[in-house]
Amino acid sequence: MADAPKRTPLYDLHVELGGKMVDFAGWEMPVQYPLGIMGEHKHCRAKAALFDVSHMGQVILKGENVGAKLEALCPQAFSTLKEGKARYGFFTNENGGIMDDLIVSNAGDHFFVVVNASMRHQDIPHMARHLDGIEVIEIFDRALIAVQGPKAEDVVGNLCPGVRDLKFMETIIGAINGVECRISRLGYTGEDGYEISIPQDGAVEVARAFLADENCEPAGLGARDSLRLEAGLCLYGNDIDNETSPIEASLIWAIQKRRREEGGFPGADRIQREIAEGTSRKLVGIRPEGRAPARQGVEVQSEDGKAIGVVTSGGFGPTAGGPVAMGYISTDSTEPGTRVNLMIRGKAQPAQIVSLPFVQQNYKR
C-alpha cells in the first residue's frame, strides 16, 4: 500500500479556507480555493497571493567552505555568494543534464538550500554523499510560505518593516508576530514577493496575519503553475530534467562567467562545448493561435509537416490572455515569429515561436 500523503503545517487552514486538496509529490496540497485558479492568478498579478510551499525541501549546510564545496556539484559561483544573498542554481550530472534546480542562500554561519519537493529524496543524499566534511541537515520542523505580487511588500512589510529594504535575491532573519523567520525576496511567479521559512508552530498564525490584509488571498498549485509558466520559469520534470542541459534550457545566465571558463563541475565537458558551439535544440516560448491549450508532450511541426520539437509545459495564461506554452525546438526554427503547427488530437493547430517571458517579470532589483 502506498504511503498516505504527508500534510504541511497549514493543512487545516487550507481545508478551513475551502482549499481543494490533491496529492502532489506525496503531499496533500491545495490546487485551488473557492476564488478559482483564474481568480487567484489575477489576484497575484494585481495585488498579493499567499502560497504554501512547505512541501519543498529545506536544508541547512554547515561547515568550512560550503560554497566552494557546492561548486563541485553545481555550475554556479557559490564560493563568492555574499552573506545575505541568494542565488538560483542546479545540480548537474556527468552527462551535463540537470538533476534538479534549487535556491541557495548564504546565511552567514551556514548555507540554506531549498530544493524541489519531488526531488528531495534524491538531492539530500546527493549532498550528504559528496559534500565532504559538511553537515547536511534536512529541516522537518519549519513551514515555507510564499507571498507574491505587487502588494507583497506591503502585506509582509506591515508586519516586518525590515523586509521593505530587501532587494531581489536578498535574505534576512526577521520577526513576524514575534516569530523569528528567514525572509527572502524571491519567488516563482514573475512578481515581486517573499519566501518565508518559519517554525511550524508559528506558521498558521503568521499565514492568518498575512491573509487578514485585504490585499492578500490564498492561492494554490494551479495558479502557481500558470503564473510561473507566463513568467517563463522552468518546472523540473517538465522543462528541465536529467537529459536537458542548462544551455538547451536557456539557463546560461545562471552560470557565472568564472564557472563557464573554469569548469570543474559534473558535465562541464558538454556544457562548455555547448556554450562554444551551440545546441541542436532550445527552450522557447510558443503562442498557440486558437483557444486550445497545448499540453506537455504535444508534437511541434514546421509548416511543411516536419517534426521539429515538443511542448514541455502549456496551459492558459490569464494575464497573457490566451494559451501559452514552452517547449524544445530545433535551433534553426527558434527565431521569434517563426510559424509552427501544434499536433493537438491529430489536428494541426497554428502557433508561433515567441520570446520568453510571456509577461514582464517585476522583481525589485
C-alpha cell at position 266: 559534473
Instruction: Report yes or no: 128 and 28 within 8 Å, Cβ to Cβ.
Output: no
**Domain 6-54+141-230 belongs in CATH node 3.30.1360.120:** yes
Which part of the chain is CATH 3.30.1360.120?
A: 6-54+141-230
| Binding-site residue set for substrate | 195
Per-residue pLDDT of the chain (365 residues; tens, 9 = 90+): 568 899 999 999 999 999 999 999 999 999 999 999 999 999 999 999 999 999 999 999 999 999 999 999 999 999 999 999 999 999 999 999 999 999 999 999 999 999 999 999 999 999 999 999 999 999 999 999 999 999 999 999 999 999 999 999 999 999 999 999 999 999 999 999 999 999 999 999 999 999 999 999 999 999 999 999 999 999 999 999 999 999 999 999 999 999 999 999 999 999 999 999 999 999 999 999 988 899 999 999 999 999 999 999 999 999 999 999 999 999 999 999 999 999 999 999 999 999 999 999 999 98
Pairwise CA distance, residues 151 & 122, whole Å: 36
Helix, strand or coil for residue 275?
A: helix
Pairwise CA distance, residues 217 & 37, whole Å: 12
**Could you say which DSSP state residue 188 is in?**
S
CB atoms within 10 A of CB 123: 21
Q: What angle do CA 263, 268, 271 make, to 5 degrees?
A: 115
Instruction: Report yes or no: 282 and 328 within 8 Å, Cβ to Cβ.
Output: yes
Residue 70: partners with Cβ closer than 8 Å, 6 or more residues away: 61, 76, 78, 79, 89, 104, 111, 131
Pairwise CA distance, residues 171 & 86, whole Å: 7
Pairwise CA distance, residues 44 & 67, whole Å: 34
Regarding the domain with residue range 280-354, which homologous superfamily does it belong to in the CATH classification? Aminomethyltransferase beta-barrel domains (2.40.30.110)
What sign does the dihedral 43-189-55-103 (CA atoms) show?
Answer: negative
| Binding-site residue set | 195
Whole-model pTM?
0.96
Which part of the chain is CATH 2.40.30.110?
A: 280-354
